[in-house]
Amino acid sequence: MNSVFEALSHPVRRKIVKTLKQGPKSAGELAGMFDLTKPTISSHFAKLKKAELVRTTRQGNSILYHLNASVLETALSDLLDFSEGNKDD
């Protein structure tokens, strides 16, 4: 769960996740949304992949990024469970 929240701690990565909610996008399409160097955007992609928030497939010469919503749902569920466990009755 820590890797998920670490990945979501940066606004660029949150915007990538939000964009992927609409459907898969190529690495080039996602990179075009930001004024960042290739190494910088690659590091953001790597953090999202490490947290398993995104998965990739190859389509011809392009890499498509897909949102792995189940990981996000699990992390949010765990967070809510944690929050409910700390409530004073």
Report domain extents, the chain: 2-85
Q: What band does 83 get if pLDDT is binned at 50, 70 and 90?
A: low
Instruction: Express as a percent the part of the chain with pLDDT over 70.
Output: 91
Can you tell me the mean pLDDT for 16-22? 96
Q: Which residue has the higher pLDDT, 89 or 65?
A: 65
Please give the C-alpha separations between residue 42 and each of 28, 49, 64, in angstroms, as whole numbers. 11, 10, 13
**What pLDDT, in 10s, does the model give residues 36-46?**
999 999 999 99
CATH node for 2-85: 1.10.10.10
**Sign of the dihedral defined by the CA atoms of residues 30, 54, 59, 38, in that order:** positive
Strand order in the sheet with 25-26: 25-26, 62-67, 54-59
**Sign of the dihedral defined by the CA atoms of residues 65, 11, 9, 18, in that order:** negative
